[in-house]
Amino acid sequence: MSKILIIAEHDGRSLNQSTAKTVACATGVSAASIDILVMAESAGLVAAEAAKLDAVSRVLTVENTANANALAATLAPQVVALAAGYSHVFGPSTTFGRDLMPRVAALLGVNQISDIMAILDSHTFKRPIYAGNVVLTVKAPSDQPVVATVRMASYQPVASNSQAAIESVSCSAEIPAHTRYIDLKSGSSDRPDLQTATKVVSGGRALASSENFKIIFELADKLGAGVGASRAAVDAGYVPNEMQVGQTGKIIAPELYLAIGISGAIQHLTGIKDAGTIVAINKDAEAPIFEVADIGLVGDLFSIVPELTAALK
C-alpha cells in the first residue's frame, strides 16, 4: 500500500496554498496515508494549518534554525532522512518545489516526475512537455520511491475541515554550510495573488511603458483581479518578474483571464491553458491569442481598457 510524504511550502508564518493542492493531487493515489512534513525554524503556526487539511493523516515537524529559510541544499538531506518507508514523496511545482525536489530525487537515486497533471494509478502519471503542447504518460518503476512535483493549475486545494495529529520528529541529517540565505525582495502588493486569484488581468508589450500599465492595474482593481504580464512586458521592465505568466513564469488557472495587448505566443499560452474563460483584447485580428480566446475584442487597448474600467461600476 502506498504511503505519501508531502513537503510543505510556507514562509515561516503560514502555509502556502500549494500544499493543499499537492494534497489534492496525492488523494489520486489511493494511499494508506498522506503525511505532511513541515521543516521550519518554529513550525507551530504552519503545522496547525497543515493539520486542518482534509485527507492528511499526520503532520510531522522538524524545527531547526537552519530551516528558517527554504534552501534546497539544507532541506534535501532532511527530506531524504525522513523519506524512509514512504512510497511517494510529493512537492508542489512552484519555484520552492522545483528547486528542492530534484535534489531529493537525486539523493534517493531516482528520477523525478515533474508537473503531475493527472494520476492514472499509483505509478502512472500524465505530465505536460513541450510547453504544454504535448501530454506525456509516464510510468515510474514500482521498486523505487516516486518523487514528483505537482502542477498547480491542475488541482483545487483540499478543504480545511480536519484535525490531523501533529508530531515533532528529530532529524540527524548533516546540514551543509555551503549555501547561505541573504534576502528576499518581493514586490508585495495588496492585490490578489496571481496564482490563487480567480480573476487575472495581464498586459503585454503593447502597454509600452510602466506608466501605461496603470490602466491594467485600474481594471484589475475594479474586477478584484490579480495582475500578470507577458515576458515581453517583464523584460522591458514595465513590471517585476514575479508577474510573468507562461512556460517560464507562472502557470495559472483563474476562472477569468484577460490578455490585453498580448500576441499569444505558445510560451505565454502554456501559462493559461487551464483558465476558465479567456478574454483577448488586441488590435490585430490575426493575433494567435484569438485562437484560444473564448471572447475576443479587436481594437486599441488604450481606448477599450479605460472604457471597460469605467463601465464596471
Partner 1 sequence: MDKILVGLKRVVDYNVRVRVKADGTGVETDGVKMSINPFDEIALEEALRIKERGEANEVIVVSIGPADAQQQLRTGLAMGADRAILIKVDQPTDALGRARALLEIAKRENPGLVILGKQAIDDDNSQTAQMLAALWNRPQATFASKLELNGNMARVVREVDVGLETIEIDLPAVISVDLRLNEPRYVKLPDIMKAKKKPLDEISLQDLGVSVAPRLEELRFEPPAERQKGVMVEDVAGLIAALKDKGLL
Ligand X SMILES: Cc1cc2nc3c(=O)[nH]c(=O)nc-3n(C[C@H](O)[C@H](O)[C@H](O)COP(=O)(O)OP(=O)(O)OC[C@H]3O[C@@H](n4cnc5c(N)ncnc54)[C@H](O)[C@@H]3O)c2cc1C
- Grouping H, G, I as helix, E, B as strand and the rest as coil, residue 243 is helix
Q: How many of the other CB atoms lie within 10 Å of CB of 24?
A: 19
Q: Which is nearer to partner 1, 161 or 184 (CB)?
A: 184
- Alpha carbon distance 266, 300 (integer Å): 23
CB of 238 to partner 1, least distance (A): 13
Is residue 164 a contact partner of residue 51, using CB atoms and an 8 Å limit? yes
CB of 216 to ligand X, least distance (A): 12
- State the amino acid at position 175 in one-letter form: I
User: Is 233 a residue that touches ligand X (CB under 6 A)?
Assistant: yes
Grid cell 495559472 in the structure block, residue: 252
Which of partner 1, ligand X, none interacts with 300 (beta carbon under 5 to 8 A by kind)? ligand X
Which of ligand X, partner 1, none interacts with 133 (beta carbon under 5 to 8 A by kind)? partner 1
Applying the rule CB under 6 A, the residues between 185 and 204 that interact with ligand X are: 204
Could you tell me how many residues make up the chain?
Answer: 313
Which residues are bridge partners to 15 per DSSP?
A: 10
**From candidates 77, 261, 278, 279, binder to ligand X by CB under 6 A:** 261
Is residue 54 a contact partner of residue 162, using CB atoms and an 8 Å limit? yes
User: Is 252 a residue that touches ligand X (CB under 6 A)?
Assistant: no
**From candidates 206, 220, 225, 278, binder to ligand X by CB under 6 A:** 206
User: Is 249 a residue that touches ligand X (CB under 6 A)?
Assistant: yes
Nearest one of 128, 117, 178, 187 to 152, comparing CA atoms: 117
CB of 248 to ligand X, least distance (A): 4
Q: How many of the other CB atoms lie within 10 Å of CB of 307?
A: 11
Which residues are bridge partners to 260 per DSSP?
A: 203, 281
- Grouping H, G, I as helix, E, B as strand and the rest as coil, residue 63 is strand
DSSP code, position 15: B
User: Is 151 a residue that touches ligand X (CB under 6 A)?
Assistant: no
CB of 244 to ligand X, least distance (A): 5
Grid cell 463601465 in the structure block, residue: 311
Which of partner 1, ligand X, none interacts with 8 (beta carbon under 5 to 8 A by kind)? none
CB of 282 to ligand X, least distance (A): 4
User: Is 247 a residue that touches ligand X (CB under 6 A)?
Assistant: yes
Q: Which is nearer to partner 1, 36 or 108 (CB)?
A: 108
Q: Which residues contact ligand X by CB under 6 A? A: 204-206, 230-233, 244-249, 261-263, 265, 267-268, 271, 282-284, 287, 300-302
